Copies of this chain bind each other. A is one copy, B any other.
Amino acid sequence: MSTLKLRKVAIDTYKENVAYLHRDCPLYHSEGFQALSKIEIKDGENKPSVIAVLNVVDDDSITAIDELGLSEQTFQQFNVEEGEPLIINHATPPASIRSVHRKIDGFRLDKSDYLNICKDIVSHRYSKIEIAAFLVSCAQTGMDRDEILYLSQAMVDTGERLDWKEPLVVDKHCIGGIPGNRTTMIIVPIVAAHGMLMPKTSSRAITSPAGTADTMEVLAKVDLRLGKLHSILREKRAFLAWGGTAKLAPVDDILISVSRPLSLDTTGQMIASILSKKVAAGSTHLLIDIPVGDSAKVKTQAHALKLRKLFEYVGDRMGLTIETVITNGEQPIGRGIGPVLEARDVMQVLENSPDAPRDLREKSLQLAGRILEFDPDVRGGEGYKLAANILDSGRALHKMESIIGAQGKNATQFIPGKLAHTVVAQRAGTISAIDNLKMAQIARLAGAPMDKEAGVDLHKKVGDAVEKGDALYTLHAEFMADFNFAKAATEKNNAYTIGAKLCP
């Protein structure tokens, strides 16, 4: 047993535990530790241990020779103070890594394999490279639908689970990739105005120019504690909050922290990620929107259909009622891309403004209609009309204002970024395509979502006729560096394809 004094090292190592040991620490020599090897750290005899990757330090001011430095995330996993003794040992590989090796060898894993893997991952016993090995092994031979179910269940079972104590708790999810697709902020007030329970937790953008949480934050506080969410829900039947604070399916976040930098986009992980989060969040009924388009995540109807079947198979067995709609994902939805511009679009729709983007309104009504039909009292096929009625009557707007008030209105008056640049048509013709990925990238370069006022405002959509020199869209940015980056990107490729002029 070898004890060292705990030292907090103010380095953020995200989802990986890192510990720092001085090269001249006597233990480093005698135990034969190596940089990047894994060590097991305990703060007492009977407490569960924490596993960390070892970095070796040559500077006493970071970690002295009788200390064990812990990165911020690692420190948080202990209940002891700086200076208290810690015991370290060589870590043995997690037992479930044997299952990963079996998956690498091409075997199918069973329910207990996935559960044990998730248990070890959630207790930080897997290093990043072990997680990568797990994900790649699942990507390569693939996971059959039962394996996707086992992984989804294991992800739910290794985290907390919310219970809203009602039989009908609805949610929606969109298989991303479409900029400006901010239907959630219109659907939630419509559905809640009808009286259905819709506790909506959303993510912040990671690779897109805005997540629902980023856009909602333009209007109201989204970072709310669970107690507050319960009380808003009781009163308003809905909220629109950031889901990051709850420990729902925490394995999902850890897997994503590895799969995203790898650009590893596998069906099995995607379905398990979505459904585990929804089940853990206490949803009973889920509408899934699968946009299909050349520059969307899902490119063909056949692929969309395959996904639908998998969602249904896994959802049914997890007790989740799932409806799937396959929508047009050929271009961005609405006009604004980026938090402030999207929030403007959303409010125009809710306010029934004549300027409101029609496509955003239509898509929101379609989806809201399908969710309303989860209500046994709503006749099949009547949902759309009901949703339109709630929106047109101003009841949706009223509900939204009341939710904003409950969450805490954002007093800041946002306006689109003051650095503006308009991109114009280089030729006359008809807009035949707008590349979703490219458009998202331009908006991100302009600063979205970190700068809420940055983004892109589209003036023309697919099918619109343009003359040479007509404005296609306006870039907005807050910082000159971002502005120049984004402008340079539009000069290389402005994301618009202009086809032949159509006859009137």
Contact = CB atoms under 8 A, between A and B. Distances in A.
A128 B140 CA distance: 19
A128 B130 contact: no
Interface residues of A, number: 61
A261 B38 contact: yes
Contact of A12 (B23, B38, B451): B23
B93 A58 contact: no
A450 B28 CA distance: 11
Interface string A167-187: 000000000000000000000
A30 interface: yes
B59 A257 contact: no
A420 interface: no
A11 B56 CA distance: 6
Contacts of A298: none
A59 B136 contact: no
Contacts of A16: 36
A101 B72 CA distance: 33
A104 B35 contact: no
Interface in A15-61: 15-16, 18, 20, 23, 29-30, 32, 34-38, 55-59, 61
Given A29-B450, A261-B37, A12 B132 contact: no
Interface in A450-474: 450-451
Interface string A130-157: 1111011101110000000000000000
A129 B62 contact: no
A500 interface: no
A263 B36 contact: no
A48 B30 CA distance: 40
A201 B72 CA distance: 42
Contact of A261 (B36, B56, B71, B72): B36
Interface in A94-138: 97, 101, 104-106, 127-133, 135-137
Interface in A246-273: 257-258, 261-264
A106 B97 CA distance: 22
A410 B263 CA distance: 52
A77 interface: no
A14 B97 CA distance: 23
A28 to B, nearest CB: 10
A104 B20 CA distance: 34
A402 to B, nearest CB: 33
A70 B101 CA distance: 35
Contacts of A214: none
A63 B104 CA distance: 40
Given A32-B450, A129-B129, A57 B12 contact: yes
Given A61-B61, A127-B261, A136-B104, A15 B30 contact: no
A13 interface: yes
B56 A129 contact: no
A211 interface: no
Given A30-B482, A93-B263, A129-B128, A35 B58 contact: no
Nearest to A134: B136
A488 interface: no
Contacts of A38: 261
B55 A35 contact: no
Given A30-B447, A136-B137, A263-B97, A36 B13 contact: yes
Contacts of A9: 59, 62
Interface centre among A30, A444, A450 (most CB of B within 10 A): A30
A101 B106 CA distance: 17
11 contacts: A10-B57, A10-B62, A11-B59, A12-B56, A104-B264, A128-B129, A129-B129, A129-B258, A133-B136, A133-B264, A140-B141
Nearest 7 Cβ contacts at the A-B interface = A10-B59, A10-B58, A12-B56, A14-B35, A132-B132, A129-B132, A136-B136
Given A10-B58, A128-B129, 17 more contacts: A11-B57, A11-B59, A14-B36, A30-B481, A30-B482, A32-B444, A32-B450, A36-B261, A93-B263, A104-B264, A128-B128, A129-B131, A129-B132, A133-B262, A133-B264, A136-B140, A140-B140
